[in-house]
Amino acid sequence: MQSMKEIREALHQALNKRLEPIGFKYKTSEHSHIRPTAIGRESFHVAYLYYDHLCVAADVAVRFDELEDLLNATRSWLSPRERRSTYSLGAELGNIAGTGYRRWDVLSLDEVERVADDVVASFRSIGLPYLERASSLESAYRLLATPGRAAWLHAPIHWDRAQCLVGLALLTGRKNELPRIVDDCVRMLEELKDPNLKDFLGFLDKMGIKR
């Protein structure tokens, strides 16, 4: 009888075979397929889920080194290794497509090649265009500054999204707009009664940003 471990390893190898030719190489420490960029890196992460059979889900993310260095300088709870592994924004493929969370069932070794083809096809049609849309600091700012759920899609943790937005505003030369951006972020967190509002205000203090 085939074990889920055997099926997972076969699927992992099948995905590697399809992703390496387009520049995505598996990085064990992040459990993700990584492609470097001039200003950071892109990630395609496949999550292996165990029920009575193996399932997989997939998401993409973008890291801007300059932004993460800026934000992580205030995150004393992260180790140096953890700081090198943070990402700036990203989303699950089904949510990007607007169809809701998606997973693939892998019932046997016989289904590995088909599932690998389907996962990579979804990555090409959904994930790669997303990575292109989020490929610069300017485009990332516009995505996170979009009102409502559209911004939540890219960074679902509200106070973390607020930090990213402030950092991106600084890095894209929006210092004159910063008071409005900060006020909007504080108002959002207050309206949501977000328990991390205090942490966001502490972040502003560490950044030397006055309200």
Question: What string of DSSP letters covers the chain?
Answer: ---HHHHHHHHHHHHHHHHGGGT-EEEGGGTEEEEEETTEEEEEEEEEEESSSEEEEEEEEEEEHHHHHHHHTT-TTS-HHHHTT--SEEEEHHHHHTS----EEE-SGGGHHHHHHHHHHHIIIIIHHHHHHT-SHHHHHHHHHS-THHHHHH--SHHHHHHHHHHHHHHTT-GGGHHHHHHHHHHHHHHTT-TTHHHHHHHHHHTT---
Beta bridge partners of 121: none
Phi-psi region of 104 (alpha: psi -120 to 50; beta: other; left: phi over 0): beta
- pLDDT for 153: 92
Q: What is the pLDDT of residues 74-121, one digit of tens each?
A: 998 899 999 999 999 999 999 999 999 999 999 999 999 999 999 999
Q: What is the pLDDT at residue 181?
A: 95
Low-confidence residues of the chain, pLDDT below 50? none
Identify the residue whose tokens are 């029920």.
Answer: 51
Taking the C-alpha atoms of residue 73 and residue 69, their distance in angstroms, rounded to an integer, is 6
Dist. CA 22–CA 97, nearest whole Å: 22
The pTM score is 0.93
What local confidence, expressed as pLDDT, does residue 47 receive?
Answer: 95
Cα angle, residue 24 at apex, residues 22 and 26 outer, rounded to 5°: 145
State the chain's maximal CA–CA distance in angstroms.
64
- What local confidence, expressed as pLDDT, does residue 90 receive? 97
Q: Which of 135, 131, 207 minimizes the C-alpha distance to 169? A: 207
The Cα–Cα gap between 179 and 166 comes to 10
Q: What is the pLDDT of residue 30?
A: 87
d(CA 65, CA 87): 9
